[in-house]
Amino acid sequence: MYQNSLEFASQCDKEDSLSHFRNKFHLPTNDAGEALIYLCGNSLGLQPKITSEYIKKELNDWANLGVEGHTEAEHPWLPYHEFLTEKMAMLVGAKPQEVVVMNTLTTNLHLMMVSFYQPTDKKYKIVVESDAFPSDKYAVESQLKFHDFDPEDGLILWKPREGEELCRFEDLEQIMVEQGDSIALLMIGSTNYYSGQSFPLKRITELGHKYNCIVGFDLAHGAGNIYPDLHNTGADFAVWCTYKYLNSGPGSLGACFVHQRHAENPKLKRFAGWWGHNKQTRFNMRHDFDPLPGAEGWQLSNPPILSMAAIRASLDIFAEAGFENLRKKSVKLTGFLEYLIDELKDERISIITPRNNQERGCQLSIQVKSANKELHDRLTAAGVISDWREPDVIRVAPAPLYNSFEDVFRFAEKLKKILN
Ligand SMILES: Cc1ncc(COP(=O)(O)O)c(C=O)c1O
Ligand SMILES: Nc1ccccc1C(=O)C[C@H](N)C(=O)O
């Protein structure tokens, strides 16, 4: 299906009904003003050109209205997060009531664990995938310690087998058979940051629930990349960020999913703040805490509107493109990348990301035996923005909104040249 030529890549771009979206983004350039090959949307997504207008609108409303902007701005600030909910929920396959944009990822992870990790003397262990992102590992370890458990005993790593790079579902099943009675929480990344492996969220959820465990997912590398179909997985909660595939800017706000069945459970403990309180009586000030139903009830503070404006801009672009269309392009684009890397026929190289589209998003993690960071530095000097993860992996993630087939082709050419 694929061919190893620039002509083929250009033809794919011509046939791509989403190719005009590239022009809606600021592409970083070199000193000569030429666009770099940006394959790093898994770390920081690019800036949509409309983002500055969305932010400026709020700056202007603030300048002109002051405090009145909370109610009188074109998009009033009091309910501003609500303008994001529906589109965000659609991207992750959730019902609007299950989703809220707030805080940042690790903060949300802790808030979710405050509510959903309620260990007992017998059922207290937490399972994470072995190469979970460090922040997730620190968060679960610190939750164990907070409840006076020793992470040495309480943290279970779902590991790839000796000599393998990917986690096998049957090994998670085995963990549950052996230790399920003492496990309280499965906290798994939906798509692993290092290997690019996407896990079967529904199967993991069903497995966890069979053993009466809570199941939560970190969608940092999933949201805007794969379709996690959150509601139907039945997961208890999920958290994600918006600065990667959701193109909402460095350090922008995260989001949170709480399954509908927990929407109004008075027994759930939580850390509370006034933004999670009943909107009708929030400003009466002297009421007892009355949590909003659904994910909104976990909000703490009134949120930063400027960051939310950037998220609104990005979600409008996703809505215009349609996630299904994006995913279709993504599968083809990453397939092309995979084909070209295989075509290098270089024995030092292996792709550790799964070969099957159901088990990956757009990222491929390319292991280069006995290479060091110098390889990555040379790619950078050649105009490729990718990233390097110790000990020997280059991660490249063609994002269907702004990457082209030609980007992918040029990347492979440069890699070939540098390896030779
Ligand atoms: C899987 C994963 N978890 C957590 C984080 C940390 O998120 P934050 O800094 O927004 O808390 C990241 C990336 O930064 C990540 O990729
Ligand atoms: N937020 C950042 C700030 C600085 C440097 C990297 C990040 C990342 O997001 C890294 C990303 N989570 C990763 O998968 O490597």
User: CATH number, domain at 347?
Assistant: 3.90.1150.10
Distance 203 CA to ligand 2 centre (A): 28
Confidence of residue 55 (pLDDT cuts 50, 70, 90): very high
Residues with CB under 6 A from ligand 1: 104-106, 133, 135-136, 189, 193, 218, 220-221, 241, 254
* Gap between the terminal Cα atoms of the chain: 27
CB atoms within 10 A of CB 190: 27
How far is Cα 347 from Cα 337, in angstroms, rounded to an integer?
Answer: 17
Q: Does residue 257 sit within a domain?
A: yes
Mean pLDDT is lowest, of 268-277, 279-288, 329-338, 371-380, for 279-288
pLDDT of 301 reads 97
Are 126 and 93 in the same domain? yes
pLDDT at 285: 79
pLDDT of residue 216 exceeding 90: yes
Query: Is the pLDDT assigned to residue 373 strictly greater than 90?
Result: no
Final residue in a domain of this structure, among 272, 287, 319:
319
**Contact 168/130 with Cβ under 8 angstroms?**
no
Determine which residue's CA is closest to atom 7 belonging to ligand 2: 43
Give me ligand 1 centre to Cα 105, in Å: 6
Distance CA 372, CA 391 (A): 7
Q: Which long-range contacts (CB under 8 A, 24 or more apart) does 283-292 make?
A: none
Q: What was the pLDDT predicted at 372?
A: 84
SS3 for 134? helix
- What average pLDDT score do residues 169-187 get? 98
Give the per-residue pLDDT at 287: 83
> Given a cut of 90, is residue 117 above it in pLDDT?
yes
Say if residue 286's pLDDT is above 90.
Answer: no
Whether 387 and 281 share a structural domain: no
The verdict on 97 and 191 lying in the same domain is yes
Same domain, 176 and 221: yes
Helix (H) or strand (E) holding 417: helix 405-419
pLDDT of residue 371 exceeding 90: no
Interval between CA 377 and ligand 2 midpoint (Å): 18
Q: Longest Cα pair distance anywhere in the chain, in angstroms?
A: 71
pLDDT digits (tens, 9 = 90+) for 218-268: 999 999 999 999 999 999 999 999 999 999 999 999 999 999 999 998 789
Q: Which ligand 2 atom sits nearest the alpha carbon of residue 221?
A: 14
243 appears as a binding residue in the annotation: yes
Place of tokens 């403990």: 269
**What was the pLDDT predicted at 281?**
87
| Spacing of C-alpha 399 from chain mean position | 13
Q: Is the pTM of this model over 0.95?
A: yes
CB 181 within 8 A of CB 123: yes
Tell me the average pLDDT of the chain.
Answer: 96
In this predicted structure, the answer to whether residue 56 has a pLDDT above a threshold of 90 is yes
Q: Does 226 map to a domain?
A: yes
How far apart are the C-alpha atoms of 183 and 126, rounded to whole Å? Answer: 6
- pLDDT attached to residue 370: 83
Q: Is the dihedral of CA 189, 269, 259, 80 positive or negative?
A: negative
Task: Give the pLDDT of residue 97.
Answer: 98
pLDDT at 282: 87
Instruction: Note whether 211 and 349 are same-domain residues.
Output: no
**Number of helices followed by number of strands (H, E) in the chain:** 14, 13
Ligand 2 center–CA 21 separation, angstroms: 24
What are the angstrom distances between the C-alpha of 323 and each of 15, 74, 87, 92, 246? 18, 27, 10, 10, 12
291-to-105, 212, 269, 284, 300 alpha-carbon distances in Å: 21, 26, 11, 15, 11
Residue 355 has what pLDDT?
A: 97
pLDDT of residue 408: 98
From the alpha carbon of 241, which atom of ligand 1 is closest?
10
CA gap 76, 239 in Å, rounded: 26
**Segments forming the whole domain that contains residue 357:** 6-49+322-419
Percent of the chain at pLDDT > 90 equals 94
Q: What's residue 284's pLDDT?
A: 84
335 and 305 in a single domain? The answer is no
> Do 220 and 279 fall within a single domain?
yes
Domain assignment present for residue 127? The answer is yes
Q: Is the pLDDT of residue 40 over 90?
A: yes
As a whole number of angstroms, the distance between CA 137 and CA 36 comes to 34
pLDDT, tens digit, 9 for 90 and up, residues 183-206? 999 999 999 999 999 999 999 999
Task: Please check whether residue 364 lies inside any domain of the structure.
Answer: yes
Does a structural domain hold residue 62? Answer: no
Same domain, 306 and 332: no
Choose the final residue of a domain: 276, 296, 319.
Answer: 319
The structural domain count of the chain equals: 2
Query: Are residues 245 and 384 both part of a single domain?
Result: no
User: Based on the domain organization, do 311 and 351 belong to the same domain?
Assistant: no
Say what the pLDDT of residue 54 is: 98
Q: What angle do CA 380, 386, 390 make, to 5 degrees?
A: 100
* 393-396 and 364-368 beta bridge pairing: antiparallel
> Looking at the structure, do residues 334 and 274 belong to the same domain, yes or no?
no
Q: Across residues 89-103, what is the average pLDDT? A: 98
Residue 165 belongs to some domain of the structure: yes
The pLDDT score that the predictor gives to residue 174 is: 98
Domain closes at, from 265, 293, 319: 319
Quick one: 18 and 115 in the same domain? no
Radius of gyration of the chain (CA): 22
Q: What is the CATH number of the domain that holds 289?
A: 3.40.640.10
Neighbour order of strands in the sheet with 349-351: 349-351, 364-368, 393-396, 387-389
For ligand 2, atom 10: residue with the closest CA: 43
Within-domain flag for 20: yes
User: Above 90 in pLDDT, residue 112?
Assistant: yes
Q: Is residue 67 part of a domain?
A: no
